[in-house]
Amino acid sequence: MLDRLRDPLVRLRFAGHVEGLTLLALFFVAMPLKYALGIPEATRVTGAVHGLAFVAYLVVLADTAAGAAWRLREVALALVAAMVPFGTFVYSRRLTGAASTADLTPALP
């Protein structure tokens, strides 16, 4: 498992899944607990965990994008994916389709 994480695309997919799961937990577990049952601690804890997962995703994205000279459009797509529920799971399918980071990189003129 740790060896597979040396591949930047696998690492980005993994970080995306963690980020996506924490976002779903925030939206569909913690927020109902806060607003329906009056438990504000739920969003405080889940929000903090999601914040850290989001930062980790951004770092891995910066590493992947810089390492493969991604075009800005690809970076923007990966960013938007992290901000909507299920976004990183959908984006992960795009990454799975690419055999390597080079497939998402513009050809040099």
Partner 1 sequence: MTYLWIKALHVAVVVLWTAGVVLAPVLAAGLARTGAASGPALGVLRRTFHRLASPALVLTWALGLYLAVSGGWMRFEWLIGKMGLVLLLTLLHGGVSGWLRRGEATGDVPARLGVATLVALGLVTGAALLVVLKPVV
Whether the CB-CB separation of 81 and 88 falls below 8 Å is answered with: yes
16: its two tokens: 């995306």
Q: Which alpha helices (H) appear in the chain, and where do they start and end?
A: 8-25, 31-37, 41-68, 72-81, 87-97
Q: Does 78 bind partner 1 (CB under 8 A)?
A: no
Contact between 16 and partner 1 per CB under 8 A: no
Measure CA 40 to chain center: 25
By the rule CB under 8 A, 58 interacts with partner 1: yes
Q: Which of these segments, 16-24, 35-43, 65-73, 88-96, binds partner 1 (CB under 8 A)?
A: 65-73
Does residue 65 interact with partner 1 by CB under 8 A?
Answer: yes
Closer residue to partner 1 in complex, CB, 51/85:
51
Tell me how far, at minimum, the Cβ of 28 lies from partner 1, in Å: 25
How crowded is residue 75: how many other Cβ atoms within 10 Å of its Cβ? 16
- The DSSP code for 28 is I
* Segment near partner 1 (CB under 8 A); pick from 30-38, 53-61, 79-87, 88-96: 53-61
Residues that bind partner 1 (CB under 8 A): 8, 52, 55, 58-69
